[in-house]
Amino acid sequence: MPNTTGARPFPPSFSATLPAAVSEFSSLCGMAPTNSHEQAIARIVNDLDTEGRLSPTSIEDVIAHLNFAMTKSDSEFLVNYIRWRMDHPL
């Protein structure tokens, strides 16, 4: 499946350091976190999922734990990753 999201996958050397869930997301959806903001978002979403607290309203919880202002791209990644994680729980 071609990458139509515009997101760039990590180089192979990076994939060994990615959490399994993020790597799975990348291979299934053709996208991966492309920067430190998206990596932080994915970690927080995964933590909420592991704790059993992930829901569509978790967006506010994730934003509250971030120490940076989100860009439009970060926001889109957050929404898409929460949707995917809810369909593919840890």
Does some domain include residue 19?
no
Domain count across the chain = 1
Show the domain range for 74: 36-90
Task: Give the model's pLDDT for residue 22.
Answer: 59
| pLDDT reported for residue 31 | 56
Helix axes 20-29, 72-87, angle to 10 degrees: 100
- Within 10 A of 47 (CB to CB), how many other CB atoms are there? 15
Residue 64 falls inside a structural domain: yes
Domain assignment present for residue 6? The answer is: no
Whether residue 80 is contained in a domain is answered as yes
pLDDT digits (tens, 9 = 90+) for 18-62: 556 556 555 555 557 788 999 999 999 999 999 999 999 999 999
